[in-house]
């Protein structure tokens, strides 16, 4: 499977997906750490891909997403944004609603 197809499959099969450096419990950069903490504080399960373990995804996702940096949060197949946007949404209480909506849809 070509790497773009792999990325599309990951995004399609996970309602809430965070592409990050490291893992939520062991992030490898401050931006990924803050993004993962905000997501975990929402209280819903989410999938993640460690781009440091997946160099092809790290190289190709920015082109596919038209978003140059990591982390990247995808919810229900749509790119939400990176660390700054995630934190801004969290502070406004909007991230919790977005994540809850995706989790509710997944449970249905």
Query: Annotated binding site, which residues?
Result: 21, 29, 58, 70, 83-84
For the annotated binding site for [2Fe-2S] cluster, the residues are: 29
Residue that the structure tokens 């038209």 belong to: 66
Closest CA to 19 of 56, 57, 45: 57
Q: From the annotation, which residues make up the binding site for glutathione?
A: 21, 58, 70, 83-84
Contacts of 31 (CB under 8 A, 6+ apart): 21, 69, 70, 71, 82, 83
Distance between CA atoms of residues 90 and 88, nearest Å: 5
By the 8 A CB rule, do 89 and 50 touch?
A: no
């Amino acid at each position: 499977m070509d790497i773009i197809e792999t990325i599309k499959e990951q995004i399609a099969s996970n309602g809430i997906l965070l592409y990050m450096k490291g893992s939520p419990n062991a992030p490898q950069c401050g931006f990924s750490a803050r993004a993962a903490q905000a997501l975990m504080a929402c209280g819903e399960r989410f999938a993640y891909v460690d781009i440091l373990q997946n160099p092809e995804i790290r190289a190709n996702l920015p082109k596919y997403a038209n978003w140059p940096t990591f982390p990247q949060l995808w919810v229900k197949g749509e790119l939400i944004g990176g660390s700054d946007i995630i934190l801004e949404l969290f502070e406004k209480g909007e991230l919790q609603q977005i994540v809850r909506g995706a989790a509710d849809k997944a449970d249905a």
